[in-house]
Structure 1
Amino acid sequence: MSTVIRPVTAEDWPKVKELRLAALQDPVAAIAFLDTYEQAAARPDEFWQQRAAGTGGGLTSRQFIAEQADGWWIGSVSVLIEQTGSGDVFGGAVEQDQAHLVGVFVRPEGRGTGVARELFEAATAFARGFGEPPISRVRLFVHQDNQRAEAFYRKLGFVRTGHTVPVPGDAAKVENELVLP
């Protein structure tokens, strides 16, 4: 499978929307994303345009996609730059400048091909090159029941910090924070 890893451009918004809606229909979407298909499908085009432009939510963000030679998007990961003193996606305070990887998705036909690793390499390179001084902390959260995803993240070198947050809407479950040392 020949793919190119690249950042999303503002003009890519229809494909950003299509890939996100596909991700939200994946069997593990309920434990992998803090969004539902119904919520995402109801959003206006302006939302997707802002998301593709990296201007949504007041954060600095960059989405990377894996694009096949025929233009088909096979996967994606987004990087949110969280700056000291700002709020994070779970409502906590950010104590140091850091990158937060979110929205990890690879279509079933792309799994096990190395595409996810390539996406993570691009995302972490962007994160580590951001700002002055550069970002040194790269993190993500994974649902306690998403062992497959956590196993993949561990293969990339991520380790649990011991910090957890309750899953929105299900306080009996937690999301585990993992960082890339």
Structure 2
Amino acid sequence: MHYDVRRLAAGEWRELRGITLEALRDSPNAFSSSYADTAARPDDHWRQRAAHQATARESATFTAGDEDGARVGIAGVEPLADVPDHVHIHSVYVAPAHRGAGGPAAELVHAVIRHAREHTTVGALTLGVHEDNERAQAFYRRLGFEPTGKAVPYVLRPAERILVLGYPGFRA
């Protein structure tokens, strides 16, 4: 199947909201916010988020659409205020029916890596993955990410950890 992977457009706030809420329902341990908190955000939040992700230089969200135009995947990238010289991949999600070989996950991650290379001047690219998500860890390793040896508490359950993976092939 062919997927249309492209940067989110400013007016696609409903699509951003929809795929984000789908991701939180399907994979609640993969993200740092709860479905309930995210669903309660007003439309204005989504409008502003989509506009920012569509136009900001260093931050961007990419979506994958199937042959019918439905948004079936998402991935974002942006700097973290607390970590200088660094950009972080976040919100990587693909609907279950589109996972595995031939799905858009690798294309989405490659799109955010390209964006970071072309639009930032930072020296490091990382992402976080829940310690229990072995499938995601294996996927990221296949794409070239490596453990950094760092872990941070999972914000929704601080006794659990988020492993930080780095992309050694990254250079801005």
The amino acid that maps onto 1:17 is R
TM-superposition CA deviations, 1:38-86 (whole Å, max 9, x none): 111111000001111126xx9942000011232201101000123xxx3
Change (3 A) 1:59 1:126: closer
Letter in 2 for 1:10: A
User: Cα offset for 1:103?
Assistant: 0.4
For 2:17, the aligned partner's letter is K
User: Which structure ranks higher in relative contact order (CA pairs < 8 Å, sequence separation ≥ 6)?
Assistant: 2
**Equivalent residue, structure 2, for 1:62:** 60
Percent identical residues: 39
Aligned to 1:151, the other structure's residue is in SS state helix
Q: Runs of at least 4 residues of structure 1 off by over 6 A?
A: none
Residue 3 of structure 2 aligns with which residue? 3
In 1, Cα distance between equivalents of 2:77 and 2:158 = 26
Residue from 44, 48, 66 that aligns with 2:42: 44
If the length of structure 2 is used for normalisation, what is the TM-score? 0.89
Give the match's secondary structure for 1:120. Answer: helix
Structure 1 residues without counterparts, runs of 5 or longer: 88-93
Please say if 1:152 is aligned against 2:139.
Answer: yes
CA root-mean-square deviation: 1.7
Q: For 1:129, what is the secondary structure of its paired residue?
A: helix
The equivalent residue for 2:108 is 119
Aligned AA (2:76): S
Change (3 A) 1:135 1:114: farther
Q: For the Cα contact (< 8 Å) 2:62–2:108, is it kept in 1?
A: yes
Could you tell me how far apart the structure 2 residues matched to 1:48 and 1:164 are?
A: 30
Equivalent residue pairs, number: 165
CA–CA distance in 1 between the matches of 2:70 and 2:156? 34
Shift of 1:125: 0.4
- What are the superposed Cα offsets for residues 14-46 of structure 1, whole Å, 9 maximum, x if unpaired? 1100111111110x31x2011111111111000
